Structure 1
Amino acid sequence: MAKEYDIIIIGAGPAGMTAALYASRANMSVLMLDRGIYGGQMNNTASIENYPGFKSILGPDLAKEMYDSSTQFGAEYSYGSVESVVNDGDTKTITTDMGDEFITKVLIIGTGSEYKKLGVPGEEDFSGRGVSYCAVCDGAFFKGMHLVVIGGGDSAIEEGIYLTQLASKVTVIHRRDQLRAQKITQQRAFDNDKMEFVWNSNVTEIVGDDKVEGVKVNNNKTGEDSFIDASGVFIYVGVQPMTAPFKGLGILDEDGWIPTDELMHTKVPGIFAVGDVRKKNLRQIATAVGEGGTAAQQAFDYIQEINSKQNV
């Protein structure tokens, strides 16, 4: 028998947990579904210094605080990877890899995104210990140090410029001989005395002992190998949304992101999207929390509207 809820939230990151808090506090029956432990990428963050209310807090500790808050009014939590979602109009049917089936009036998608990896030795080993994918999140830990940025698109160059406010020097390593970033962004980078560029090169290994000490680089034109000393490596070779189960709903753009309006509505009534899975620029805990609260309120209003129609 399928279990029924007013609202099901797929993804228990900061956006999903905030939505669960607001929705359950409004006396909605709520289920959070996640393929792993609650908290999302917060669990991979050693220290968070840019979330209001905490000067500094361990990522897993903030995740636990949010989880305790999100479930205090009765929201349930369950493990499982979503395999399919079927839109039945006023209800949505969700099936997981655990064989569970759920029916909900409202679906809130908060499955997030993941950074594309280089796939080189040392990348996983030093994740959180010198390897980062977010300058805004981690740049402050590297004040006065030499940093490497890998990539040549808008994110890589914009984040590289941001890091120059903190680092002694930022070296951008790009596999081509020219950047892909917007021209105005490129010019700002070229005009920045703290930025230098290594062209036609691929990082083949991230090296260190307890923390990052540098990167091995191969020039893809000459075949020459070299080593660059660095205390931190910031990788920007792309971000991809985790939206595979939702391909049949007609809510994804050509790159797999979920566009919404400012109130978190997707193209399908009763389906909302929050957090890093949305098509947007800034992916931070603070923005995710706001989106979760907005989606929950909109979900409540949507359910009230459905109920009023059914009672007519």
Structure 2
Amino acid sequence: MVDISNCRWHLWNLLLQSIIIKYNSFFYICGVKVNNNTFLNIQDLTKKYRDIHALNKIDLKFDQNGCYGILGANGAGKTTLLLIITKLIKKFSGQCKLEQDQMNYFGFLPENWGNYSFLSPIEHLDLLYKLRTQTKPERKELYSLLKWVGIEEKFWEKNPKTYSKGMKQRLGIAIAFSASPKIVILDEPLAHIDPMGRQYFLREFQKYKMKNDAIIVMSSHVISEIEQIADHITIIDHGEILTSNSFLEISLKNNNYEYDIVSISSNQDFLKEFYNILDRNRDDLKITDSRLTKGKILINSKFPCEIQKYLHEKSTDLYVKPTAGFLGKFYADILGDI
């Protein structure tokens, strides 16, 4: 009697070996080689689809670790920009350069990523991990990734064709973050994810960035997602960059002095303890008002960058961001309409 599972395993290994040999530079969702100190430098970048400018002479520079949020309406040019950055689109004019001196990998989740219908989630992760690192992953690491993205154990060996859209998206997130890349590029990563799941992943992306000193580039047309996670905001519309700057700098330039100090781990006791520290140092930190609420500390200050630096020295769990609602108002002002 033929052992079907054993045959499947041998076929699987042959497939893997053939892919590695044939596509040694394969990078789609598997990862692209970059460095630990990468910054992105784009100059006069233009991409046309026939007579339509998807991107029109844009300049953009990302030069430090953090989370870069790319915000724009459907069809604004966000996906085209990310596909050029990841070298999936190679025909364009202008310059798109990733400065580098030490090689590493980055993960990429396209907006509409395609899974292999004949592979289970574990086999997906195993294959793409090997393609990315040329090493065999520990099984427990793959299990940990699936747990992290919220795929229940009973689905680990099932065909992704049976998955809901949300579960498939969770698998895509697991693949993008496998092998702990220093740079992760996410195109509408929370599409099809339920509301509680969205909040969970926004916190987890923040934790990953802090823990790994990583860069996350995330596009979305949902203002609240970018507002919650981004350190740097780029707004794109009809293929043109309307603004690209630190979120705190954008806030200051628009005379907004209301900020939230947020705990990534949502530790209320830690927030309370830190609130008392801030209160004692209010004059030194130039905080004119502060108030402790559930999940955050509300402050009023004209020096949020200095406060952010102070927080970073004290804890990697805390960060400063403009109060909820500011980005929506700014976005409406800069476009004239939403």
**What is the TM-score of this pair, normalised by structure 2?**
0.22
Q: Which has the higher helix share?
A: 2
